[in-house]
Structure 1
Amino acid sequence: MYYFCDNCNLYYNEDEIEDCLIDYILDLVEYDFHVKKYFYPLLAEKKNDESKKIEEEINKLEQQKERLKKAYLSGMLELEDVSEDYKLIDSKLSILENKRIDALDFDKENYNPGHLMAERDIEREKLTEHEMYKDVLLKLWTMKSKDEKQTFISKFIDTATLKKNEDGSFDIDKINFRSSFIEQIDKLYDKGIVDFPTMLERDGKLQDTKISVNMNSRQLNDYLSTLKKELDISYMDLGEYYFHDDKIDENYDTKTQVAKIRNRAIEFKLKKNQKVIRLVAMKEFKNFSAKPEGKLHLGLVTHTTSKKKHK
């Protein structure tokens, strides 16, 4: 399949764009995998008997998409007509997907956010230690057909603008996520289990890591106790910090000797075999896009790994 660029009047191969954006795609694959395996119960809000009806509506829309595809391939419809209808159907499917989640009948007493988050991280750590985690995500993506890939992306993204670089690669210039996806993130954020990417400097090199926000002390204790059943982990209390104007107040008493503030960064020591699982920020924010303001308690969760490298 090819995409047409309105500005340069050229067609670009779908595979070429996919190769350039694979890291972004795998982030969505990872999110979808974790929601389906661990967090569906947290997105279910009420009990009702609408599931069957919603499934029927979804099936009807999927059948409409298939008829449109056949009509286009047979030459009965133009690409522009099919694209508009596809977009409308995908929008309806996205809304129905959220309704289906809400209609699920779960006993929420059996689903603890801290426990679910820990189970997710245990699996991720074990696969990462054996250098298999990214391969698993890539396999989940590559095993999809072209149609399945398009349907998958349309669940999360409404529109996207790509920028072509001089070397021929593509970057995302602007992206508009579907409102249904943002609603899901808001719900998970409210439970304190949304990961945000951040950077950690270690031995002069920057490393990607994650930070959890909106957690409370009870949830943190549940999370740590579940991790300890499977992994050799440690928790480092990094102290209390005061943020204002998106910056750390370097004169604030952090109430800890473990970490210190230097050059607007938090410094602490780690052993060589301590792998960072995540940073934890214990403070309630209004929503997932809110900037830190006021007091914030930080912690660090590490996994003591074996010295032997697995391949």
Structure 2
Amino acid sequence: MPEQPIDIFNLQIGGEVGKYNSLPVEYLIEIAKNLQNFLQTLAKVNVSNSSTLDLNNFKLELTGFQKGSAVPQFVFTPRRRLTLDADIDNQRLLVRQKFDEIVEASSKGDFTKVRELYPDAYRRNEVVEGLYSFVNSFGNSPVSVVDLNNKKGKDNITTLYRIRPFAKEVRDRLITTVIESRALETVEEISLRRVVTTYRGGAKIKTKTVEEYSDKQAALSLAPDQIISSTHTYRLISPLRCLLEKEEDYFVLTCELLDLVGTGLSVEEAQESFAEEFEFIYNRYNELPNKELTQRLQSIKIILNALIKQVDAHAHA
């Protein structure tokens, strides 16, 4: 990809909307709003917790409109909000790099890139929602990120990559349903619990839990000593404290310590979803060097490696 200024975003808009080399005001406003929201989202999820972040530094301003083509030019605002310990230029560089990386990957249909960059559900959900709103704000008009340069008095446009919308079904597959925990209150209730345990040669290999809930909100504290995915069993040095909740038709299994959430229409589905997320972040965080992880994710990586006593591959995997 050609080198381009960190602060400048040139978008070439074609089709019916841009055929007169102009843009309707409401269309321009919608594009600018969604682009700015997406960039601010990338700033929130990528800038390290150790660095002060002011989202006002990621607002956009319109600085030009290319003659002979519908190419609005946006820049990061020059009205900077200075902070004590933040390097705004480096923050903007990071956001620009993530923007190009994610939008280019989505234009190729490589949505697994988003999951690799943001394996934890909370950050991934924000990024996917912001990306979806931005790339779908153009309707059916073809849009490209372009570079502008002037040669011999003539402006030349170089296409860097196309921006393509993606379907709601794709967005839904990338998003993990997170249901926020409500404040718990002490209520006297009768709850029934049935546990079915399978043994082989005297060793416990599987425990299946069936819960019956009243019509009220219910929450149980669980502490598994092993996490079983479809391919591996992760044996832990001590039980992992988790919260199992039921809201409407969903079961939600949450571990705040690891920022992990598993959901499903049954307890078993929630446990399977949780195990899949556990396995994914364990492998992904250990693949990445610490410099590519925020302080929070580095802490989770340390906890994961300290927590896991043994990893056993399943015979059928």
State TM-score, norm by structure 2: 0.24
Is the radius of gyration larger for structure 1 or structure 2? 2
State TM-score, norm by structure 1: 0.24
